[in-house]
Structure 1
Amino acid sequence: MSRRQVDPGPEALCQGLVAHLEEQMQIHDPRILDAFRAVPRHRFVTHVSIEEAYRDRAIATKQLDNGLAISSASQPAMMAIMLKQLNIQPGHRILEIGAGTGYNAALMAHLVGARGHVVTIDFDEDIVSDARQHLAANGVENVDVIRADGGRGFAAGAPFDRIILTVGAWDIAPAWREQLTAHGRLVLPLSVGGPQLSVAFQAQNGHLISQSAHYCEFMRLRGEFAGPEMLGPLGPERGLLIGSEEALPVPNDTLYNWLSGPSQDDPAGMHMALRDLRSSLWLWLGIHETGHFRVYATGDIAKRGWIPDLLSVSVPGGLFRGTSGLVNEDGVCLLARSDDEANPFPLRLRSYGNAKALTQRLLGQLQAWDAAGRPRGDRLEIVVYPLEAAIDVPEGAVVIPKRWHQHVLRWP
């Protein structure tokens, strides 16, 4: 007689997620793990199955008509990392920018306890309404959900001991720095030359000093306080996307014509592992170079081989390829791999147009990156000053002026 298999209930699935966070993701703070046990995620993402709710994945919760997701429930592992960075203590007052489903606010409400308070704000009324309903349905009383533009913070509730963003930002809006307590902490996904790092900043004498950084990927801030980052289609056909931190020096049509035309491959004279790409090299290029961009191909265009196979994965609907490189008025040079199977693999440079000088420039950056020890994003030190502040720049640091602040970046 065979036994009928019984699907695990939400409590068992929740315990499984907590075990994953502790054993696989190295989250050992007992207070954070207790918060994940106490707050049932499936009650905040009711549009998916209970099994899906307790997978360690982000879940899209709002999409535009073109399918682009503009709100989501963040990946639990990334949430746990950011909560650890935030270092919440009982009684703290917290501002969250990006309410989402209300789940993260509920976790923080558990951590601050009855003496603490959380304010979470969002741009869209429907997101605010859903978050309020989820929090009320789960008996969470020490959270206020406000509809507002997160770039302005929430002056009526300031100052805050902690401020956290669950959306990516290109710069730090003045309100976030001004609404922190004198020794408060700000955690946000910060665009650093294109890639994002979840950075924990400590306030000190009118500026912010990074305490930790982790690679991450979040949807970007929308509205008046959005940055200049670009991610959009390239060319007349579906399946080709381009992303950059800044306006590129040539029109998209010119870039498309180069990428769809003849190219030349040259060896870079070094090997690279895939783990080095996002966590190190893309950051290095974004910090040290202008004209750095990323390009992605899917479907038929990916099969044509226009875009070199640096990152390649199978996705629903076909193949996905991605890489990055430099562009100037004369041509393009992209990173490529010589061996589809090896990891580490021999690195190559693929050039388009009249890109001889650009290829040498990219090769020089690769050699500098290698000589520096291929530094990772989690070792990057960032100090943020108001744009008008006079600063002493440490040796080896790079200063990136942005909209409101100047970011001083340095690998020790």
Structure 2
Amino acid sequence: MTIAASDDGVRALIEELQSAGNLPADCLRALEAVPREWFIPARMWVQEIADGTYQPVDRTEEPDRWLAAVYANRVIVTQFDDGATEWPEVGDRPTCSASMPSVVVGMLTELDVRPGHVVFEVGTGTGWSAALLGHIVGAQGKVTTVEIDPVLAAEARKRLEAAGFTEVDARLADGVADVLPDRVDRVIATASVRIGQFPYPWVAHTLPGGVILAPMRADLASGPLVRFVVGEDGTATGRAADMQVGFMELRSHRVASDPVGAQRFDDPSAEVTYTDLAPWVPLLADDHRWPIAVAVPSCRVNVWERTGDRPGVAWLRDPLSGSWATVVPERKGRYVVRQFGPRRLWDAAEAAYRWWVERGEPPLSAWEWTVTPDRQSVTLPPRSGR
């Protein structure tokens, strides 16, 4: 669709978001007042074709295509490889993006931010979310947003100032290590947090009854957007919201890449056992994967499809211990398991999955997250009546 003017684009985007469900009044007013195009660079990357590859788009050369992409409900990548890859080249890892508008609106709804609130945002990115927050909290509230990348921070600050959001305090800072503003009502992270590494200062600086919204992840699984509520005792407890998100990691939580499946899947040094559990069942569905991610949080997975003479293979690898496992079909209903290293990864994965099945296959929203000054846990509370 070609969009002739930005006003048309704003209206079309709002209509699309409204068609998917109720759009809170504060979010609606913010979307009308803060056009997304104000915060998208002239050069960007978008996924426009079925194979999911990123395509460069330049506003100067293709203004209609650029504007149509800006007002589509899609992710726009604004940086690859921490800025090492320059437009129009496509890099290996997206490191900054403008999230899908439906995700932004969903997160603002879960955050329940209101006029007069003091908000701390971790991950300024393009600055659009900070501007939306600034519009919602109004003159009586305050938004502090931090960005660890100096180039991104400077660009976002310029966009916020140009858009008139001078009251939004946009800082170059590490949202994990640096000092937070005093006593806030809301914290929102737009980068994923590893389980067990939730920054307790976010809790300590949030008023009792305040909300912290953060996407959580392990090496094996990502996506649960967890809504924490801070208690009077300084403990934050949370449940996963009813939406899946995909965010880049906090830079301080990144780990080095470690290829899964680099060695032979039939390595003779491995211990051989058998299972009747098809590995694709627990490893390829979000709800199924999560109990395994909690049981072996540093485990990574890869699944090879069957091609030619190579059988389908499920790989698991733990870079911390050097352990690995493969599961390969032998015949219908029987799979060969090879495991190597101090951890028996498939044994742990299968036990966690079967435990979850015995519990009735509860969804992600059933898990309970707890963060205290000296302990962090992800648990599945007992079923009622048991």
Report the equivalent of 2:145. Answer: 120
Report the equivalent of 2:302. Answer: 295
Residue aligned with 2:193, SS: coil
**Residue by residue, what CA displacement relative to the aligned partner does 1:136-192 show, whole Å, maximum 9, x if unpaired?**
22222321111111113544x311111111111222223212211232211111225
Deviation at 1:293, TM superposition (A): 1.6
Task: Note if 1:85 corresponds to 2:113.
Answer: no
Deviation at 1:97, TM superposition (A): 1.0
Residue aligned with 2:362, SS: coil
1:334-353 equivalences under 5 Å are 334=327, 349=335, 351-352=337-338
Report the equivalent of 1:379. Answer: 366
CA distance in 1, matches of 2:185, 2:77: 29
Deviation at 1:259, TM superposition (A): 3.2
CA distance in 1, matches of 2:247, 2:108: 15
Change beyond 3 A, Cα 1:410–1:365: closer
Would the aligned equivalents of 1:325 and 1:333 in 2 still touch at CA under 8 Å? yes
CA distance in 2, matches of 1:128, 1:40: 20
Report the equivalent of 1:95. Answer: 120
Deviation at 1:7, TM superposition (A): 4.0
Would the aligned equivalents of 1:199 and 1:210 in 2 still touch at CA under 8 Å? yes
Q: Where in structure 1 are there 5+ consecutive unaligned residues? A: 235-241, 243-254, 310-322, 339-345, 388-404
CA distance in 1, matches of 2:135, 2:335: 51
State the aligned residue count: 341
1:214-253 equivalences under 5 Å are 214-222=243-251, 226-227=252-253, 230=255, 232-234=257-259, 242=260
Change beyond 3 A, Cα 1:260–1:61: farther
Report the equivalent of 1:33. Answer: 28
Deviation at 1:102, TM superposition (A): 0.5
Report the equivalent of 2:210. Answer: 184
Residue aligned with 2:120, SS: strand
Task: Note if 1:365 corresponds to 2:359.
Answer: no
**Residue by residue, what CA displacement relative to the aligned partner does 1:289-338 show, whole Å, maximum 9, x if unpaired?**
466322267xxx996786848xxxxxxxxxxxxx66466877513498x9
Report the equivalent of 2:160. Answer: 135
Task: Note if 1:61 corresponds to 2:86.
Answer: no
User: Which among 314, 332, 336 is matched to residue 325 of structure 2?
Assistant: 332
Deviation at 1:285, TM superposition (A): 0.5
Report the equivalent of 2:192. Answer: 168
CA distance in 1, matches of 2:287, 2:360: 10
Deviation at 1:370, TM superposition (A): 2.2
Change beyond 3 A, Cα 1:38–1:377: same
Deviation at 1:218, TM superposition (A): 1.0
Q: Where in structure 2 are there 5+ consecutive unaligned residues? A: 45-65, 86-90
Task: Note if 1:258 corresponds to 2:283.
Answer: no
Deviation at 1:40, TM superposition (A): 0.7
User: Which among 228, 232, 240 is matched to residue 201 of structure 1?
Assistant: 228
TM-score by length of 1: 0.71
Change beyond 3 A, Cα 1:364–1:159: closer
CA distance in 2, matches of 1:290, 1:118: 33
Residue aligned with 1:131, SS: helix
Residue aligned with 1:95, SS: strand
Residue aligned with 1:186, SS: strand
Would the aligned equivalents of 1:296 and 1:307 in 2 still touch at CA under 8 Å? no
Deviation at 1:381, TM superposition (A): 1.5
User: Which among 119, 134, 158 is matched to residue 109 of structure 1?
Assistant: 134
Residue aligned with 1:17, SS: helix
CA distance in 2, matches of 1:367, 1:130: 49
